[in-house]
Amino acid sequence: MKTILVPVDYSQASIRALEVALNVASRVHAQLLLCHVYQSPVYVAEAYHPVYALPAYDTKQDAMKKLRKLVKLVRKNSEVAVPIKCTIVTGGVVEELLELARNRKVSLVVMGTTGRGSVENRLFGSTTRHLVKNASSPVLAVPEKAWISHLERIVYASALDPAEADALVQLADVQKLFNSSITLLHVNCGQEESNVNIDVRRNELMKNFPEDAYTFSQIRCDNIAEGIEHFVEGYNADLVAFTVSNRGFWKNLLQSSITSRLLEELHLPMLAFPQYAGAVTGIAQEEEEQTTKQEESLKP
**SS (HEC) of the chain:** CCEEEEECCCCHHHHHHHHHHHHHHHHHCCEEEEEEEECCCCEECCCCCCCEECCCCCCHHHHHHHHHHHHHHHHHHCCCCCCEEEEEEECCHHHHHHHHHHHCCCCEEEEEECCCCCHHHHHHHHHHHHHHHHCCCCEEEEECCCCCCCCCEEEEECCCCHHHHHHHHHHHHHHHHHCCEEEEEEEECCCCCCHHHHHHHHHHHCCCCCCCCCEEEEEECCCHHHHHHHHHHHHCCCEEEEECCCCHHHHHHHHCHHHHHHHHCCCCCEEEECCCHHHHHHHHHHHHHHHHHHHHHHCC
CATH ID of 3-40+54-143, from 3.20.190.10, 3.40.50.150, 3.40.50.620, 3.30.420.40: 3.40.50.620
**pLDDT of res. 277:** 46
Q: State mean pLDDT over 116-123.
A: 39
pLDDT at 298: 52
Quote the CATH superfamily of domain 153-278: HUPs (3.40.50.620)
**Domain locations along the chain:** 3-40+54-143, 153-278
pLDDT in tens, 9-68: 888 888 889 999 998 999 899 999 999 988 765 555 554 444 444 445 567 888 899 999
Confidence at residue 90, expressed as pLDDT on a 0 to 100 scale: 87
Shared fold status for 3-40+54-143 and 153-278: yes
> What does pTM read for this prediction?
0.79
Tens digits of residue pLDDT in 182-219 = 999 998 876 556 777 888 999 999 888 888 889 999 99
Per-residue pLDDT, averaged over 221-248, amounts to: 83
Segment 247-275, tens digit of pLDDT: 554 555 555 555 666 666 567 888 989 87
What is the per-residue pLDDT for 74? 87
